[in-house]
Amino acid sequence: MVHSLNIEDLLIINHLKTGDAASVADTPGCPGTFRVETCQRVLHVLPGGTILRAWTDRPAQIVRGVQAYRMLLRIATGLESQVAGETEVFGQLKNAWQSYQSGGGKHARNLSSMMQKLFEDVKDIRSACFSGSSTASYGNIVRSILKKRLVESPGPVLVVGAGGAALSVAEALSGNVRELLLWNRSRGRLDELAVKIRKMPSAGKTRVIPFFPPDEEAAWSGATHVVVCIPLDPVNDAARIEHFKKHDIQTLVHLGCTRGDAGGWKKIQVLLTLDDVFELRGTNTRAKVQALATAERLCDERARLRSLGGSITTPHGWEDLVQFQ
Q: What is the pLDDT of residues 121-157, one digit of tens each?
A: 999 998 888 765 445 678 888 999 999 999 999 999 9
pLDDT at 306 (0 to 100): 92
Query: What CA–CA distances, in Å, run from 261 to 22, 83, 288?
Result: 9, 19, 30
pLDDT at 310 (0 to 100): 54
pTM of the model: 0.63
pLDDT at 315 (0 to 100): 44
Which one has a higher pLDDT value, 321 or 306?
Answer: 306
Pick the CATH number of 138-279 from 3.40.50.1100, 3.40.50.20, 1.20.1440.230, 3.40.50.720: 3.40.50.720
pLDDT at 317 (0 to 100): 43
- For 260-308, write each residue's pLDDT tens digit: 889 999 999 999 998 888 887 654 466 777 888 999 999 999 999 998 8
- For 68-78, write each residue's pLDDT tens digit: 999 999 999 98
Nearest partner of 38 among 55, 17, 62, judged by Cα: 17
Pick the CATH number of 7-133+288-310 from 1.10.3470, 3.40.50, 3.40.390, 3.30.460: 3.30.460
Per domain, the residue ranges of the chain are: 7-133+288-310, 138-279
Which one has a higher pLDDT value, 52 or 294?
Answer: 294
pLDDT at 18 (0 to 100): 66
| Kind plus residue range of the DSSP H or E element containing 226 | strand 225-228
Indicate if the pLDDT at residue 319 is higher than 70: no
Query: What CA–CA distances, in Å, run from 212 to 122, 188, 189, 266?
Result: 35, 10, 11, 27
Which one has a higher pLDDT value, 140 or 240?
Answer: 240
What mean pLDDT do residues 217-233 have? Answer: 95
pLDDT tier, 56 (very low <50, low <70, confident <90, very high otherwise): low
Average pLDDT of the residues of the chain: 84
Indicate if the pLDDT at residue 46 is higher than 80: yes
- For 242-259, write each residue's pLDDT tens digit: 999 999 999 999 998 888
Indicate if the pLDDT at residue 29 is higher than 80: no
pLDDT at 271 (0 to 100): 97
- SS3 (DSSP) at 37: strand
184 in Cβ contact with 156 (< 8 Å): no
pLDDT at 161 (0 to 100): 94
pLDDT tier, 316 (very low <50, low <70, confident <90, very high otherwise): very low
pLDDT at 92 (0 to 100): 86
